[in-house]
Amino acid sequence: MPQMAPLWWELLFTMFVTSFMLMIMIMYFNKMMKSKKIKTIIITTKQKQWKW
């Protein structure tokens, strides 16, 4: 169906763009979470040092 071809290309393009954006978002979120975890670990170690 030649009439359906543009719609399929649009669907493929939108799927690709959305997946790419999701990947970027997940990578950014993971980086933020890792930095937060590192900060919390540093805070906990400081508290432990203060306790000792």
If one counts the domains in the chain, the total is 1
Q: What is the pLDDT of residues 1-52, one digit of tens each?
A: 456 677 888 899 999 999 999 999 999 888 888 877 778 888 777 777 765 5
Phi-psi region of 42 (alpha: psi -120 to 50; beta: other; left: phi over 0): alpha
Domain that holds residue 41: 1-52
Q: Which long-range contacts (CB under 8 A, 24 or more apart) does 20-27 make?
A: none
Q: What DSSP assignment string belongs to 7-44?
A: HHHHHHHHHHHHHHHHHHHHHHHHHHHHHHHHHHHHHH
d(CA 50, CA 27): 35
